Amino acid sequence: MSTRLSTGGRLIDRTKLVEFSFNGKRLTGFKGDTLASALLANGQTLVGRSFKYHRPRGIVASGPEEPNALVGLGGGGKFEPNQRATTTELFNGLNAKSQNAWPSLEFDIGGVNRIMSPIFPAGFYYKTFMFPRFAWKHMFEPFIRKAAGLGAAPTEKDDDRYEYFYAHVDVLIVGGGTSGLAAALEAGRVGAKVLVLEQTNTWGGRAPVDDVLINDKDSSKWIKNALSELKKMPNVTLRARTMGAGVYDHGWATGYECLTDHAPEKNGPRHRLWRIRAKRIVTTTGAIERPLSFAGNDIPAVMLAGAVRDYIVDYGTSCGDVMVLATNNDDAYRTAIAQVKVGLKVAVILDARVSVDGALPNQARKMGIRVETGMGISKVKGSRNVTGVSICLQAGEGVPLEEIKCDVVAMSGGWSPIVHLWSHCGGKLNWDANQAMFRPDPKRPPLGADGTGFVIVGGTANGYLDAKSSMQDAISQCRKTLKEIGYKPTASIPLKAFAEPEALIEQIWQMPQGMSIKLQTKTFLDYQNDVKISDVRLAALEGYESVEHTKRYTTLGMATDQGKLSNINGLAILADSLNADIPNVGTTTFRPPYHPISMGSIAGDARGKLFKPIRKTPIHQWIKDNGGFFEPVADWRRPYCYQQEGENVQEAVTREILNTRNNVGLLDASTLGKIVVKGPDAGKFLDMLYTNMMSNLKIGRCRYGLMCTENGFLSDDGVVARLDEETFLCHTTSGGSDRIHTWMEEWLQTEWWDWKVYTANVTEQYAQIAVVGPNARKVLEKLGGMDVSAEALPFMTFVEGKIGGIKARPFRISFSGELSYEVAVPASDGQAFWDMCMKAGAEYGIQPYGTECLHVMRAEKGFIMIGDETDGTVIPQDLNLQWAISKKKDDFLGKRAHLRSNMVDPSRWKLVGLKTINPEVVIPDGAYATDGIVRENGVKNMIGRVTSTYFSPTLGRSIAMGLIEFGPDRMGEIIDFPTLEGKIIKVKICDPVFLDPEGVRQNV
């Protein structure tokens, strides 16, 4: 059983007890523990159940590569599923729950899957859920949805805060081991701006665990000195608990800093996402140990040799009293030596290699440890914890030769350099058969903006596993990098690292070599997704040759650990099954992030009110205070209506319409786009942009205009006013101001750059207040100032002057069909002008009105609305707007496209008015008209659709507009609009102008 040792543990502080709970059990650990080390210290080897078979699983690793020990942390708004126990720092009150187990970890009903495992082979889902077809939707999918998923999704809103940090540096160094620190010293000493990221809270990496000597002294001394030198450098930033998460184009990288996960009592953001632009990225990310593939290698207390060593040296925790070590390399012997050094037992070292004569094996032998060469594990015994192993010849088929009792199995299949960051942006790998590893190919790096490689790998990550060459490589890589970005490296300070030399590894991909099928079905490659050797071999047998396909078919490497432990082992088995070499089978693609990062960190501060800023008009607060019921209009918020006490929305809209038609209404039209177009060529430019002629517009006059895309489709509309000879003011739709301004600039900058035109978007410089209704003139006249009479200010004109003492530019334009003044005043005077109008208008029955009233009134007049009557496929001719298309102009945007055969097709759906036979019935929005014909495919033939549909209080009946095939030629015809409920609404085609077709009301 695992337990806390009486002494040792370089990272823990035995004077500080930490209380935590696991599945409700109250346990204690020490400050400096990870959740994993504290669980092991409490004898808790069983920590979870596997995803597919619900097999009991224990801690395998000591770092982010851990596949099994996933827990749910915290509760409520702080709940977080799928947290690795091995990277979770212990704190007082930590509350962890195991996953994938119900009703309890010890007794898990899903474990029945284990017994049924023979019927869950590779590609099980693909094979099983195919037929019958209906069963997918009604049986399989609901069941899978319930059973699938790792952990449980949080149900409450995240209580924490997250933020971004931006950094621009010369050199980003990822990995704060001895190689990373050595590289940082090189870069720091020449004055380069350096950022060093280390994912754990400890600098120096594995060197202290592996008894590395630097300059003849314990490596921890050198690490301490290096850190203090780096901390003194103003050009160097060191960040612990910050993982290099991803590398992207042109030297962009992300870092993931955990700020309060280990100290929840701290204030401030929980995670910080670093967004880094670096000239060069040096990755000194080390290596990950691989498991060995033998039967029962997933039973709790079968662990990576390096992890067992970490728990002894770093946390003073034994993973078991009696160890069996299985290996194919020398490094693992360090674990056996460490086990014996702290007074525990090693029953046997099983080395798959036949000839073993390195310094470390000999040291083990000298310590009296039994070393068996050419041997391996036939099978691990035990279910919830290892109880022993049967050993066999590695070269054989697994005949058990001897049973050995033990309570921990340490295994090492060699080390794989962590090449993720190198590969994220396209760096390629070479297979090093001697060292049984993929390592970066320096000739094929990820390329930056200048076409040179921008990621440089150093040290162990570059394939130099021993301390001495690793540090040397990191230093020389960094010096080379510094030269590339224009720094002259200083004279090198001599550095001498030493670790016991190691003999060559032997490639061992399954143990024993000729393992039977039965053993293969108990041999796990991917612990998290329960993929076994037999699954990969079956996939190969069924014809899967590509590693990418096999990955998806078997789910190998597709779990949250992204195959950190399993990829190479699985790849080797696939290669063996296909009789191919490993490099010919290739690797799967590494994608960021290296290790899962929180969604919160990706969102940063962009949540709630900060998710997207909203635009507010000068009248916004008044609207809010006066019953305004807001709706989003582009980025603006506009009042749909103003609700009075006891009134529902529909009642408010009806009241506003009738009041505006009969008395006077006030509309905040400030959101209307306003773009000034100025210059000697302004008229010529607008002639190209609008379908109408604008260059002949007289000063002081207004003209309604249409804009089309080059495809001929209607894109925006609005009134253009000519301010002086060279200046036009173009009004756009509320949602269109930025888009149309950009559109103008695009043409001016990229096509007609020699035209003398300047544009300015002045939308927010003016408040625009529409005074609308029969009493509108009386209100303005009462305010006093400029002459607003019909003679001085006729329809479709504007004048500049002062109204009520405020500088104003009233436009006699109308979107309601009523007498209407749209008065532009400086934004800062907007509220004052509004207040004056409300006050002066009181005796004339003035009331504010919202967007729905505006919509109904314009529909009563048959005025089109961009986005209702248009949808990106509608041309002006469809809306009977030929009168607004100039025939005199040679060219305008969209003119040529209007001549395309499809655009002149007479059967195009065209705008008409629609009156329901029953005046009370309003056609549902988006309804389609049919003609009774059923097409070959069984679908009803559609001959049009409704584009705007309302109940008109003015007319006391329902009105609608729609696009109908041959519409204008079918006046008076009755057509059908089927509803979703299966009813049919009978509708008569009519003129789209329902109210005042002569325009008497607006032109007074």
Q: List residues near another protein by CB under 8 A.
A: 248-252, 277, 426, 447-451, 710-711, 742, 745-746, 749-751, 753, 890-891, 895-897, 900
Least Å from the CB of residue 742 to another protein: 8
Pairing of strands 531-532, 714-724: unpaired
- Residue count of the chain, please give it: 1004
Q: Which helix (DSSP H) or strand (DSSP E) does residue 28 occupy?
A: strand 25-31
SS3 211: coil
Contact assessment for residue 438 and residue 417, using Cβ atoms and an 8 Å cutoff: yes
Nearer to another protein, 506 or 738 (CB): 738
- Please, what is the angle between helix 851-860 and helix 649-662, to 10°? 60
| C-alpha span between 781 and 758 (Å, rounded) | 36
Q: Where are the beta strands (DSSP E) in 917-955?
A: 928-934, 940-952
Distance of CA 577 to the CA centre of its chain: 37
Assigned token pair, 234: 């103003």
SS3 322: strand
Nearer to another protein, 449 or 491 (CB): 449
Q: Where are the beta strands (DSSP E) in 625-701?
A: 628-633, 636-642, 664-668, 673-678
Contact assessment for residue 482 and residue 193, using Cβ atoms and an 8 Å cutoff: no
Nearer to another protein, 449 or 933 (CB): 449
Nearer to another protein, 448 or 570 (CB): 448
| C-alpha span between 276 and 278 (Å, rounded) | 6
Least Å from the CB of residue 740 to another protein: 14
Least Å from the CB of residue 755 to another protein: 11
- Please, what is the angle between helix 567-577 and helix 533-541, to 10°? 40
Least Å from the CB of residue 723 to another protein: 23
Which alpha helices (DSSP H) does 730-824 contain, by range? 737-750, 776-783
- Please, what is the angle between helix 467-484 and helix 178-189, to 10°? 30
Contact assessment for residue 632 and residue 928, using Cβ atoms and an 8 Å cutoff: no
Assigned token pair, 945: 């659709």
SS3 501: coil
Assigned token pair, 142: 């609901």
Pairing of strands 13-22, 94-98: parallel
Least Å from the CB of residue 194 to another protein: 19
Question: In degrees to the nearest 10, what's the CA dihedral of 407, 411, 417, 419?
Answer: -70
Least Å from the CB of residue 252 to another protein: 4
Least Å from the CB of residue 671 to another protein: 21
Least Å from the CB of residue 588 to another protein: 21
Nearer to another protein, 251 or 382 (CB): 251
Least Å from the CB of residue 608 to another protein: 21
Ramachandran region of residue 270, left (φ > 0), alpha (ψ -120 to 50) or beta? alpha
The b/e string for 90-104 (b: 16+ C-beta within 10 A; e otherwise) is bbeebbbbbbbbeee
Nearer to another protein, 545 or 746 (CB): 746
Nearer to another protein, 357 or 751 (CB): 751
Least Å from the CB of residue 447 to another protein: 4
Least Å from the CB of residue 689 to another protein: 13
Nearer to another protein, 738 or 973 (CB): 738
- Please, what is the angle between helix 830-841 and helix 776-783, to 10°? 110
| C-alpha span between 36 and 61 (Å, rounded) | 9
Nearer to another protein, 29 or 448 (CB): 448
The b/e string for 891-914 (b: 16+ C-beta within 10 A; e otherwise) is ebbbbebbeeeebeeeebbbbbbb
Cβ within 8 Å of residue 175, ≥6 positions away = 197, 198, 199, 205, 244, 283, 284, 285, 286, 418, 459, 461
Question: In degrees to the nearest 10, what's the CA dihedral of 896, 897, 902, 906?
Answer: -60
Nearer to another protein, 158 or 441 (CB): 441
Contact assessment for residue 308 and residue 5, using Cβ atoms and an 8 Å cutoff: no
Least Å from the CB of residue 585 to another protein: 24
Nearer to another protein, 584 or 749 (CB): 749
Nearer to another protein, 119 or 449 (CB): 449
**Residue pointed to by tokens 């773009």:** 675
Contact assessment for residue 338 and residue 315, using Cβ atoms and an 8 Å cutoff: no
Nearer to another protein, 150 or 167 (CB): 167
Least Å from the CB of residue 906 to another protein: 19
Nearer to another protein, 882 or 979 (CB): 882
Least Å from the CB of residue 448 to another protein: 8
**Residue pointed to by tokens 């090492």:** 412
| C-alpha span between 591 and 453 (Å, rounded) | 18
**Residue pointed to by tokens 């329901």:** 916
| CA angle in degrees (0–180, nearest 5) for 500-508-320 | 65
Which alpha helices (DSSP H) does 502-598 contain, by range? 517-520, 533-541, 547-554, 567-577, 582-585
Nearer to another protein, 200 or 254 (CB): 254
Least Å from the CB of residue 693 to another protein: 15
Least Å from the CB of residue 249 to another protein: 5
Least Å from the CB of residue 450 to another protein: 7
Nearer to another protein, 146 or 888 (CB): 888
Least Å from the CB of residue 598 to another protein: 20
Nearest C-alpha neighbor of 565 from the set 990, 69, 907, 929: 69
**Residue pointed to by tokens 């990062």:** 597
Nearer to another protein, 229 or 484 (CB): 484
Nearer to another protein, 249 or 835 (CB): 249
